[in-house]
Amino acid sequence: MTSVELGNPAGKWLAAAALDRWHMYQGQPQKYGTQLVPDEGRYRLWDIDPDTTDEEQAQWNVPALAEMERRASQLTLENKARQKASFRTHHHHGLH
């Protein structure tokens, strides 16, 4: 945790993400909201400890929940666009 102690922003986020991932693998809610998971064709935030505040997230360089929800939606849209492009490419070549 030396980078965290020195105030390294990336180090803080990585420490929060590591803790969240550990909680996720234990089947528990994450603390900071760094983990997005695929869920029936879309991405969503893994369950989050309801007591976590935006201020706590900011202390660990994690965006607020509203921003993380926006990122999950954006990732879902990008993934759907990739799937459509892949579908068209594969089926277009099959028609020749």
Domain ranges for the chain:
2-94
Residue 3 is predicted with a pLDDT of 55
pTM above 0.95, yes or no: no
Name the stretches of the chain with pLDDT < 70. Answer: 1-7, 91-96
The secondary structure of the chain, three-state, reads CHHHHCCCHHHHHHHHHHHHHHHHHCCCCECCCCCEEEECCEEEECCECCCCCHHHHHHCCCCCHHHHHHHHHHHHHHHHHHHHHHHHHHHHHHCC
Residue 82 is predicted with a pLDDT of 87
Distance CA 35, CA 45 (A): 6
Distance CA 74, CA 82 (A): 12
